[in-house]
Amino acid sequence: MAAGAFARALGTVYRIIIVRMAGTEALGLFQMTVPVLRAASTMATLRLPTALTRLTADRLAQGDTRGVLQARTITAFCIVALTAATSAAMVALAPALARRLFTDPRILPLLYVLPLAVVPSALTGIFRGFAEGRQIMTGTAAGQVAEPVIRLAAAALLLRLWGPHGVVHAALALVVGYGIGELAGLLAAAAFSGWRSFPNPGAAGTAPSRCAPPGPGGPAAPGSLAAGRELFAVALPLWATTMVNTAAQMINVSLIPRRLMAAGFSVREATELYGQLTGMVIPLLYMPMVAVFPVSTILTPAIAAHVAGAGRGRARRQFLQATVGALGVGAAASAAFALFPEPLARILYGEPQIAPLIALAAAAPPLVYTSSIFASVLQALGKTDVLLGHFLAATALRLALIYYLTADPSLGIAGALWALNADYALTALLNGRAAWRLLGSRGRPA
């Protein structure tokens, strides 16, 4: 939480600097690449790090260190191979994406350099997933400190060097700076993951494993196959959920500017408005998550371990404590957004015109922050398919509302924010109900 607080505070400074140095138009171009970056990162990891966290916690609760090592090896091999393939595909598909998806053709150079951010981001998941499954948060914390510090320094330097050459160069500075920050996060996660110090299955003091390794030239170990099946059973629904989310964001990149143009805005105005929403208002909404994200992160392995060890009552208490805390943080954030939208917009970004959007976002914090807790619990219980179903419903609602509301000249970009608020409300309702019902049921979740 201390590292997260530092990261969020520095993230605020980062936003202030890039808005003032790069401008809203360059920020809008950069924000258009974010869905592509997330899609590529998701393809490169298949959400295996989250599955590794759960499986590591579950296996350690049963004393099965060999199972942990098998899951770690499978995860690392898959992510390295997929990262290489995804990066190559990004470069090959960049012209088609720039031509067919985006409304602003200046996006093409940014797409070419995105692999600089995708590669370290994907590889970081291997080390963080392994460490967090053992509830060792040092690497995550170190990465949360190193990543924004290096990103801020790199982006500021590159903006000073490249910014005078135009909007595209300023946006390129943000992408490259992002990649340098991700590299720092990777190095920190690897250094503090305890990768080499984890006990070998045959070492003294470790529990005997139920998963025997294959003999020379023999078939694959049944334990390895079981670990692989369990990893993918958890990861693939999460991957599908994230891909739907990313696809929806990519649709937003194309849909929101087009619907704004249908409302009478120019291409440049639509790009700037998109940057205000996704690069200023939404990051402000997530800034108070510094007090919630560490709890939701550690909640997944903690709930998984309690359920595996027949500690369902303790799991329910932790769930309620985390939910109440998230509601408290959300209520405080909502009050700040509703009461002080203009000072927040002026002090943070020097853009007082976004104050009405900040005021409108005041409805979202309790919904967003508790949803983070609910999702962590469902992941711990292995119910990632439930998350997928709920997410599909909320995404369909969001896109339909964006299509109709954003094209209304009286709403404009505020229509997109109304759509996001509706998405947040439905997601919190469905996931919260499912988490409470599943934790209250008897027997171990599948």
Residue-wise pLDDT for 315-347, tens only, equals 888 899 999 999 999 999 999 999 999 999 998
* Residue 216 belongs to some domain of the structure: no
Rounded to 5°, angle at Cα 132 from 190 and 425: 120
Distance CA 54, CA 41 (A): 20
Residue 214, in any domain of the structure: no
Q: Is there a contact between 235 and 48 (Cβ–Cβ < 8 Å)?
A: yes
Q: Give the ranges where 136-221 is alpha helix by DSSP (H).
A: 138-162, 167-191
pLDDT at residue 14, rounded to an integer: 83
Residue pLDDT, tens place only, 37-93: 888 988 898 888 888 888 888 888 788 788 888 888 889 999 999 999 999 999 999
What's the chain's Rg over C-alpha atoms? 22
Tell me the pLDDT band of 364, cut-offs 50, 70 and 90.
Answer: very high
Average pLDDT over residues 188-212: 60
3-state secondary structure of 383: coil
Residue 207 pLDDT grade (very low, low, confident, very high; cuts 50, 70, 90): very low
Q: How confident is the model at residue 119 (pLDDT cuts 50, 70, 90)?
A: very high
Burial class (CB in 10 A: 0-12, 13-18, 19+), 296: buried
Tally of domains within the chain: 1
Residue 157 maps to a domain: yes
Distance of CA 141 to the CA centre of its chain: 16
Examine residue 446 and state whether it is found in any structural domain, yes or no. Answer: no
pLDDT > 70: percent of the chain: 92
Judge whether 163 lies within some domain: yes
Q: How confident is the model at residue 296 (pLDDT cuts 50, 70, 90)?
A: confident
User: Is 49 within a domain?
Assistant: yes
Q: Residue 159's pLDDT band (boundaries 50, 70, 90)?
A: very high
Structural domain of 314: 2-199+226-440
Residue 207 lies in a domain: no
d(CA 438, CA 446): 11
Mean pLDDT on 268-292: 87
CA distances from 305 to 62, 132, 309, 377 (A): 9, 12, 6, 12
Please tell me whether the overall predicted TM-score, pTM, comes out greater than 0.75 for this model. Answer: no
The pLDDT tens digits of the residues spanning 422-431 come to 999 999 999 9
What six digits make up the tokens of 376?
Answer: 């962590």
Crossing angle (nearest 10°) for helices 24-45 and 2-22 = 140
pLDDT digits (tens, 9 = 90+) for 398-436: 999 999 999 999 999 999 999 999 999 999 999 999 998
Residue 155 forms part of a structural domain: yes
**Who contacts 165 (Cβ-Cβ below 8 Å, separation ≥6)?**
none
Distance CA 8, CA 289 (A): 8
